[in-house]
Structure 1
């Protein structure tokens, strides 16, 4: 008695099948990397690095709230809080910040600004303890950004990274 064949009567090309399986695995890896990039915030605002950082404190007299990770050409903001009650507050930003960021708006507007060899000095007519100045800007280039913020008594250095 003849034994029945346990094979199907279809043509198979195992070389083509292995290539397809490899291509399929590469596709799965690409989808995983895309999802991982989205979770890390590399594809837009948000993700893991979306929280704001703070430098300085009330005891130091100056505090800066900023985003640690930025996206090139995307709107960003930096809030500076003065804790020393003075009728006029001065704030300086270094040249690196001015080269890598386009300042769109400052609220409240400075009463005076002066360009120096180290950067720019803004003078604000803010009264009272806890006065806040907000800088709205757009990062102009990708890479790291080290900004030095100073009010003549306290100097703070903040490090940010700009994604392309």
Structure 2
């Protein structure tokens, strides 16, 4: 008996004769198992934040006494935030200057800045925001809330006075 003959067997179930092709059935079962594994993997990645809003997406970039918390993966036209955390050393003068580059600002719409800047000035490289903060111990936080107006991989350069430049890499999905 050949392999094909063994796979195609006619079985009798009561009054019915049913042709079975076990070779095709086994291939179908393998495809179904692979499909289930891919679905479980996509679900696990989604829960972990690989598509935004989870532990894999949260990122902190630090430089000197400054750090920025942000989402590596976001969605176009959805609110995002840069949370700048400044050490007391950076804020000791009572004024903090933060600059965002022109390229980044051209791809985003700034919705809110907390606290409001005391002064905003356009420069050759971007926009300079000056904040008045309380001098003293502890961290200070400045928050830029924005919406990306373009999908794709985007790099943002943030300059904070008294700290080296920080570059943020983000992926915005449509």
Give the TM interval when normalised to the shorter protein: 0.7 to 0.9
Which consecutive unaligned segments of at least 5 residues does structure 2 have? 1-9
The TM-score with structure 1 as length reference comes to 0.74
State the Cα deviation string for residues 65-106 of structure 1 (Å, max 9, x = none). Answer: 222222222222111133321122211011222122221100
CA RMSD of aligned residues (A): 3.0
1:146 aligns to 2:155 (yes or no)? yes
1:131 aligns to 2:135 (yes or no)? no
The TM-score with structure 2 as length reference comes to 0.70
1:67 aligns to 2:74 (yes or no)? no
Which consecutive unaligned segments of at least 5 residues does structure 1 have? 1-5
Map 1:1-164 → 2, pairs under 5 A? 7-8=11-12, 9-12=16-19, 14=21, 21=28, 24=32, 27-28=35-36, 31-32=39-40, 34-46=42-54, 48-56=55-63, 60-83=64-87, 84=90, 85-129=92-136, 130-154=139-163, 155-164=165-174
CA distance in 1, matches of 2:19, 2:112: 66
C-alpha distance 61-37 of structure 1, shift in aligned 2 (>3 A): closer
Aligned to 1:3: none
CA distance in 2, matches of 1:110, 1:141: 26
C-alpha distance 97-88 of structure 1, shift in aligned 2 (>3 A): same
How many residues align structurally?
154
C-alpha distance 50-44 of structure 1, shift in aligned 2 (>3 A): closer
Question: How much has 1:37 moved relative to structure 2?
Answer: 4.4
Question: How much has 1:40 moved relative to structure 2?
Answer: 4.6
- Contact (CA 8 Å) 2:76, 2:150: kept in 1 or not? yes
C-alpha distance 148-12 of structure 1, shift in aligned 2 (>3 A): same
Bigger strand share: 2
